[in-house]
Amino acid sequence: MSQRNQNRGERISEAEHAVMEVLWDTNPISASDVCEAICAERDWSIATVKTLLSRLVQKEVVGTEPDGRKFLYRPLIERSDYVGVESRRLVDRLFGGRAAPLFAQLAESEALTDDDLAEIEALLREMRK
């Protein structure tokens, strides 16, 4: 996420995030194509999608380009950048800035599979090199 958006604290809502997922998967894309990808499962209308896209444009995380009489939308932030910022916010807010208690909580609630644990262990080994 750009530093400007981070500093203004303009967070992406859960609904906006659903739209961003569509944009990260396929772009540029029209509002009607976004709706086709997501409206049925969320019980949304095209008006809802257009409102969410408008908010994302105002937050400067989505850009537009004209395509005849409609607009095409594309993300201005990378998924990985967004995940990084939101992960840091989660750790800061719920775990005092420390990641270890997050992993402990996930392990205690059995949210981590053996594959997850192996992946985390590999990442830790790689970080120590």
100-109 pLDDT per residue, tens: 888 888 888 8
Q: Which of 52, 48, 28 is nearest to 40 (CA)?
A: 48
Domain that holds residue 36: 3-75
Domain at 46, CATH number:
1.10.10.10
Instruction: Say how many C-beta atoms besides its own lie within 10 A of residue 23's C-beta.
Output: 23
Residues 87 and 75: their CA atoms lie apart, in Å, by 19
pLDDT of 17-56, one tens digit each?
A: 999 999 999 999 999 999 999 999 999 999 999 999 999 9
Residue 6 reports pLDDT greater than 60: no
- Within a domain: 96: no
- Give the chain's end-to-end CA distance (angstroms, integer): 28
Give residue 103's pLDDT. 82
Instruction: Say how many C-beta atoms besides its own lie within 10 A of residue 61's C-beta.
Output: 21
- Within a domain: 37: yes
pLDDT of 94-127, one tens digit each?
A: 889 888 888 888 888 888 888 888 888 888 888 8
Check: pTM over 0.85? Answer yes or no.
no
User: Rounded to 5 degrees, what are φ and ψ at 75?
Assistant: -70, 145
10 Å CB burial of residue 20 (0-12, 13-18, 19+) is buried
Residue 4 reports pLDDT greater than 70: no
Task: Sort residue 117 into left (φ over 0), alpha (ψ -120 to 50) or beta.
Answer: alpha
- Within a domain: 22: yes
Give residue 8's pLDDT. 43
What is the number of domains present in the chain?
Answer: 1
- Within a domain: 128: no
